[in-house]
Amino acid sequence: MSLPIVYHPDYMAPLRTGHRFPMSKYGNLRAHLVRQGLLPETGGYLAPAPASLSQVAAAQGWDYADRAFRLSLTAAEVREIGLPQSEAVLRRARLASAGTALAARLALEHGVAVNLAGGSHHAGPGRGAGFCVFNDVAIAARTLLDEGQVSRILVVDCDVHQGDGTAAIFAEEPAVFTLSLHAEKNYPVRKQTSDIDIPLPDGLKDKPYLEVLREALTPLWDQVRPDIVFYNAGVDPHEADRLGRLSLSDAGLAARDDYVLASARMRGIPVVGVIGGGYGPEPDRIAARHALMVAAAARHAA
């Protein structure tokens, strides 16, 4: 079986020159996958339709979702998100959220699938934050639960920043178990409480990071018994990332991705990968790091 890949050209929205968010990395990622033979020159992916207001509201609340859809967020809310309030950014957020939901459905059918966006884990109940307008993983998880597609979900968040929005959304939801490995001293300043939080010291290298990940994840398969895993494969733990504080190498990221995907698939658990964060002035290099997770997913899709 070939790997189901979800993508949309409108995952990229116009931003001002010099903006800290490397929006072009999504197109760069697709180009990398074409060069690696994981996508053809044209097509080869499934494109989502935008997420509906009701889907977003089910995860993040009606008031916030409605005002976001109407482009009526306050100036303070827009500053907290860090992206402009525009039709293009709104469409991008809706598409990325729907893309993760589509990838989740494909993972349930095929065992593994990836969204070439997503991991917007700072958006929480009634708010967006940290370049995240809507929380795509929470929206997809809520959709699957409400439809009765699954009854237990595990979120494995390996972005360098805590998955605070996801933790807050599911704080009172026993059907969703959240694990976050993140740099202790990084954004956000005020952390939320995941089911398991593992704050890591600055400068942690590949070997100790992977040891911590294995120790945290191994018991959860039997403890949680998930019907599906959402894996946030942020590459901002990389040693060259502008916003990260950890020091993983390319090989460390690749080993991390392979371990999470292999651990789920060897147990027959569907897993959906989202790309999460990755920051810096060279979007093509960031995209190459994101491609590591997609390549690992392709290996475990066979």
Any idea which residues carry the catalytic annotation? 122
Task: Tell me what percent of the chain is helix, strand and coil, each rounded to the nearest 5.
Answer: 45, 15, 45
- Distance from CA of residue 104 to its chain's centroid? 12
Strand partners, 272: 113, 230
Q: Give the position of tokens 């371990």.
A: 259
Length of the chain in terms of residues written:
302
Q: What is the dihedral of CA 9, 50, 232, 225, to 10 degrees?
A: -140
Helix (H, G, I), strand (E, B) or coil at 86: coil
Which of 167, 99, 114, 113 lies closest to 138, judged by CA? 167
State residue 84 phi and psi, 5-degree precision. Answer: -65, 150
Strand partners, 196: 179
In single-letter form, the type of residue at position 264 comes to: A
| Alpha-carbon span 238 to 88, nearest angstrom | 29
Helix (H, G, I), strand (E, B) or coil at 280: coil
DSSP 8-state code for residue 129: B
| Alpha-carbon span 283 to 299, nearest angstrom | 25
| Alpha-carbon span 204 to 56, nearest angstrom | 36
In single-letter form, the type of residue at position 250 comes to: D
CA atoms within 13 A on the CB side of 265: 21
